[in-house]
């Protein structure tokens, strides 16, 4: 019998020991070159936003750095304890990190001086019990996140007061993304939903055959998302009408897994992994499976896609087989894999020429130089999606803590 993702999260959490904070930079590095997308990243010198899970609507989980090196060695500048699990990274916008812990408690932290600008504590009586929450997003002056009980909540980013609360009457595990004033997310009631960011008005719903636990991604007027019975969908972002559907369980290599992994979109493909450990690349126009790769164990994290200068466009993804995989984004062939030392429950991110991943078994986050394939960073903190950046600093998401890191002299 297959174990569900929440059971795996609980097992991962039980494996966490008390973390001792110790940053170790094992090598030097300089910022890479890069342009938007795998093809993409942004500037290392300018202050940038990381407004939702995946950083860009295509959810590539990649930031290239140009004028300002952000690779290891790194040193800890500060840390903030949220006193509960931070399953998802904060949304970063306008120099502020919006952090939400598993109880739905949110706080806004100004990153230049770690000042807490506001904090909203969720009243446990509001819905009767603590709520697991999705990743927050920052969009048009709103901080928006969902809880498993079905509520999508929008807070004012300036002061934290609640702007609206939409009850979608379904369990919500899908992290929202927003483009041009429209929020997209999925629910366990088998719907993909589009809502207006300003007031939470539902604009359209698409009903799929199975639950939507993955987070939708957006590219060029289309929304891409997988369901929990193995189908990948492409929807028109304006109307919700399906453009194509590919049921992976009916096509080679077959299998029966579902998608908990959210698509990363680049190079004319959507990359995602089924929970049985099979990684896929889908053609964006027709949904044709261009390649698949078996890791041999569970995958619940999402892929990162990056074309780091000096390397080909690569898909980086962790598996419960205790490895981080680097797959050629065009062919699906394994370029290399790194033994992490424990199951990888979350999503890797790439900043500069370093890919970051984590395991609760090792109680550690590590950084691997994608050019040399050597570990250049480790810290005795574990998280699901361990690293994000504002283009000037890096921020590690530990079990309870948000930790600010800055480049250190080599």
Opening angle at CA 150, ends 149 and 154, nearest 5 = 115
Q: How far apart are CA 224 and CA 201, in angstroms?
A: 21
Pick the closest to residue 69 from 25, 30, 26, 28 (CA basis): 30
SS (H, E, C) 57-93: CCCCCEECCCCCCCCCCEEEEEEEECCCCCCCCCEEE
State the Cα–Cα distance between residues 155 and 122, nearest whole angstrom. 12
Flag whether the pTM goes above 0.85.
Answer: yes
Read off the pLDDT band of 130 (50, 70, 90).
low
Percent of the chain with pLDDT over 70: 86
Do residues 102 and 132 touch, judged by C-beta distance below 8 A?
yes
> CA-to-CA distance for 15 and 300, rounded, in angstroms?
17
Checking 169-172 for CB contacts under 8 A at 24+ apart, the result is 172/134, 172/146, 172/147, 172/148
How many CA atoms lie within 13 Å of 342's alpha carbon, on the beta-carbon side? 19
pLDDT at 340 over 60: yes
Q: Would you state the pLDDT for residue 38?
A: 52
Please enumerate in sequence order all residues whose Cβ is within 8 A of that of 180, keeping only pairs 6 or more positions apart, or say none. none
Q: Is the pLDDT of residue 43 over 60?
A: no
Rounded CA-CA distance 101/99 in Å is: 7
Q: Report whether pLDDT(39) > 60.
A: no
Contact between 278 and 294 under an 8 Å Cβ cutoff? The reply is: yes
pLDDT at 19 over 90: no
**The pLDDT value given to residue 2:** 36
Instruction: Spell out the domains of the chain, with CATH numbers in brackets.
Output: 5-407 (2.130.10.10)
The pLDDT assigned to 16 comes to 39
Q: Give mean pLDDT, residues 129-154.
A: 89
Cβ-count burial of 290 within 10 angstroms (0-12 exposed, 13-18 middle, 19+ buried)?
A: middle
Determine the average pLDDT of the residues in 103-132: 81
Q: Which residues pair with 26 in a beta bridge?
A: none
- 16-25, 49-58, 121-130, 244-253: least confident range: 16-25
pLDDT recorded at residue 68: 73
Question: Rounded distance, CA 396 to CA 392, Å?
Answer: 14
Per-residue burial over 63-101, b = 16 or more CB atoms within 10 Å of its CB, e = otherwise: bbbbeebbbbbbeeeebbebeebbbbbbbbbeebbbbbb
What is the C-alpha separation between 381 and 360, in angstroms, rounded? Answer: 8
Contact 103, 122 (CB under 8 A): yes
Residues, the chain:
410
Grade residue 126 by pLDDT with cuts at 50, 70 and 90: low
Q: What is the pLDDT of residues 169-191, one digit of tens each?
A: 998 999 999 999 999 999 998 89
Which residue in 313, 184, 289 sits closest to 232, CA to CA? 289
- What pLDDT was estimated at residue 129? 55
Over 60: is that where the pLDDT of 23 sits?
no
**All residues at 6 or more sequence positions from 224 whose CB lies less than 8 Å from its CB, including other chains:** 216, 217, 218, 232, 233, 234, 235, 263, 265, 270, 284
HSE of 327, CA atoms in CB hemisphere, 13 A:
28
Distance CA 275, CA 217 (A): 18
pLDDT of residue 72 exceeding 70, the answer is yes
Token pair recorded at residue 193: 């939903």
Mean pLDDT value of segment 207-214: 94
CA dist 123 and 129 (Å) reads 9
Per-residue model confidence (pLDDT) at position 15: 40
Residue 84 confidence class, pLDDT cut points 50, 70, 90: confident
Instruction: State mean pLDDT over 301-326.
Output: 97
pLDDT of residue 85: 85
């Amino acid at each position: 019998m297959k174990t569900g993702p929440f059971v795996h999260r609980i097992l991962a959490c039980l494996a966490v020991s008390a973390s001792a904070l110790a940053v170790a930079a094992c090598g030097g590095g300089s910022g890479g070159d890069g342009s938007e997308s795998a093809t993409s990243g942004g500037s290392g010198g300018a202050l940038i936003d990381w407004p939702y899970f995946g950083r860009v609507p295509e959810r590539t989980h990649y930031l290239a750095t140009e004028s300002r090196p952000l690779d290891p060695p790194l040193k800890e500048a500060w840390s903030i304890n949220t006193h509960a699990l931070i399953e998802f990274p904060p949304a970063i916008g306008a120099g502020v990190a919006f952090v939400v812990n598993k109880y739905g408690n949110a706080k806004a932290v100004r990153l230049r001086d770690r000042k807490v600008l506001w904090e909203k504590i969720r009243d446990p009586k509001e819905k009767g019990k603590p709520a697991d929450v999705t990743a927050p997003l920052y969009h048009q002056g709103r901080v928006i996140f969902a809880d498993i009980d079905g509520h999508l909540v929008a807070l004012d980013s300036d002061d934290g007061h609640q702007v609206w609360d939409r009850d979608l009457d379904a369990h919500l595990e899908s992290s929202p993304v927003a483009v041009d004033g429209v929020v997209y997310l999925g629910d366990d009631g088998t719907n993909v939903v589009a809502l207006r960011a300003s007031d939470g008005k539902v604009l359209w719903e698409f009903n799929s055959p199975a639950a939507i636990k993955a987070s939708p991604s957006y590219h060029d007027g289309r929304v891409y998302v997988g369901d929990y019975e193995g189908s990948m969908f492409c929807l028109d972002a304006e109307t919700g009408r399906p453009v194509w559907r590919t049921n992976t369980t009916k096509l080679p290599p077959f299998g029966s897994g579902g998608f908990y992994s959210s698509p990363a979109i680049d190079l004319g493909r959507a990359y995602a992994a089924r929970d049985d450990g099979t990684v896929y690349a889908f053609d964006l126009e027709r949904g044709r499976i261009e390649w698949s790769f078996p890791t041999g164990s569970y995958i619940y994290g999402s892929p990162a896609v990056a074309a780091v200068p000096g390397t080909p466009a690569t898909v980086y993804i962790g598996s419960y087989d205790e490895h981080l995989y680097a797959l050629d984004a065009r062919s699906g062939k394994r370029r290399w894999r790194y033994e992490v030392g424990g199951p990888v429950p979350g999503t890797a991110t790439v900043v500069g020429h370093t890919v970051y991943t984590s395991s609760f078994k090792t109680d550690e986050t590590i950084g691997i130089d994608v050019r040399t394939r050597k570990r250049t960073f480790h810290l005795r903190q574990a998280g699901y999606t361990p690293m994000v950046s504002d283009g000037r600093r890096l921020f590690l998401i530990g079990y309870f803590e948000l930790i600010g890191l800055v480049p250190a002299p080599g």
